[in-house]
Amino acid sequence: MSYRVHWRLLGRENRLLDSGEIDGGFEDRHAALLAIGAFLQQFAQWDRHKDGSWWARRSPDADLWVQVSLTEQATAEPDIMPLVWAMQPSGDASPNP
């Protein structure tokens, strides 16, 4: 399992202004949570949403705020076996892998 931390910059009326990912992913949940903590330290105000994500803003009257979410990524397995794996030693593709 790996974890990804996504951020979204929101403006007035929750309009999406920008989005991205922090550090491209983490091997474990603990490392991802440490990255979220370090990111949130930049802001004067932050807390958790009911959905489990975090929000942060520079001041109580700020028009902009950041939403941060943590997602767990399962190891992706291919849906279809690549043709090379399904080939017979003779070089013919087998209809049944």
The string of pLDDT tens digits covering residues 19-46 is: 999 988 899 999 999 999 999 999 999 9
| pLDDT tier at 12, thresholds 50, 70, 90 | very high
Query: Residue 13 sits in which domain range?
Result: 2-74
Q: Is residue 84 part of a domain?
A: no
Token pair recorded at residue 48:
């958790």
Token pair recorded at residue 32:
């991802």
Q: Is residue 79 part of a domain?
A: no
Q: What is the pLDDT of residues 52-92, one digit of tens each?
A: 999 999 999 999 999 999 999 876 555 555 555 555 555 55
Q: Is residue 95 part of a domain?
A: no
Q: Is residue 63 part of a domain?
A: yes
Is the pLDDT score of 8 beyond 70?
Answer: yes
Exposure class string for 58-93: b at 16+ Cβ within 10 A, else e: eeeeeeebbbbebeeeeeeeeeeeeeeeeeeeeeee
Is the pLDDT score of 1 beyond 60?
Answer: yes
Q: Is residue 15 part of a domain?
A: yes
Token pair recorded at residue 61:
């009257």
Q: pTM to 2 decimals?
A: 0.70
Q: State the pLDDT at residue 74.
A: 73
Q: State the pLDDT at residue 64.
A: 96
Q: Is residue 97 part of a domain?
A: no
Please give the tally of structural domains in the chain. Answer: 1
Q: Is residue 94 part of a domain?
A: no
Q: Is residue 87 part of a domain?
A: no
